[in-house]
A and B are shown apart, each in its own frame.
Chain A
Amino acid sequence: MVSPPPDSPNPGDPQRAVKLSVRDLTIRYGETTALAGASFDVLENEIFGIIGPANSGKTSLLRVLNRMDTFNAGMSWQGQVHFDGQDLRTWRNLYALRRRIGVVFPLPVGLPMSIYENVALSPRLRGIKSKAELDVIVERCLTRAALWDEVKDRLSQLGSMLSGGQQQRLTIARALSQEPELLLLDEFSIAVDPVTTMKIEDVLRGLKSEMTIVLVTNLVQQARRLADRTAFLLMGECVEVGDTEDLFTSDDRDPRTRDYVEGRFG
């Protein structure tokens, strides 16, 4: 079964908790509608893929999820989004919300401070001051982001001067330093070489057991490799949601889904 479930989490596994619940989400920029009436659930500890061609509303969706829409003057949204059961609109301290959600952008961003400080930033903002603690966190996050070996001898160098692939892993290390419950990745491999992409995909597989991951990607095969369940967005509409394999092979698929994943358009 592959159509969007009206109100129940996942047809496959009724026991798993719902980390993120989206109902009838419509996102507008002024007069333009970026996303119309999307509904789906993201289960805890899964990798949830979102695929679709450009301008389908994928990035806008992510911006709503961590309430970064407050930084966009012209952006507005309707519908309901619940994170861990709490309605996003009722969160008072949005900074606390964002701290629990890590984000990786398409373009790698190394902050203009040392590699060490890049990863230590979030713990410092949380109040952790002792160097010993920070050292442990920095090493752990850089290791889990598959970057430690390459930079362990030059932690004082500027993060903004690393190569693109290294900066992207640095971004992941920074996201991990938040100890997030939810990790959002928006087309992370666009500006990154294939070898680094593979490394990061391995990292993501390893992280699944500790957090929930939403992976927006324009690489259909990447979704197939990584995602447990996937949503297909097309021109602002959530066409269908379901187990990834079903989206790629099932006979019950929406024809648009079939055309997209088989490369007939994109």
Chain B
Amino acid sequence: MVVSVQFLLRGDVSARFFVLARSFPTIALFGFTLVFLGYFEVKTGGYFIFQFSSFLEIIFLSLALAVRTGKLRDEKKQAKKEVLQAQRQN
């Protein structure tokens, strides 16, 4: 979490989704601990907290990967454009 927040502060857009993805299991594990320590009582739905959080984590990681892949593709396109421009000038 700390490392991803550090990257988010550097302005990495995909890190935004990554931090969000990582926060779901962190919150769920924290909630689970509180339940086990007896601070909360859960109904049947509460037992799906982990499944729900891991599902959301995977979804947001997918989004983060999609943003990252898109960014890499754009960078590649830009680099190609610059090479072509340089070739034309020569």
Q: Answer yes or no: do A and B interact.
A: no
Which residue numbers of A lie inside 8 Å of B, CB to CB?
none
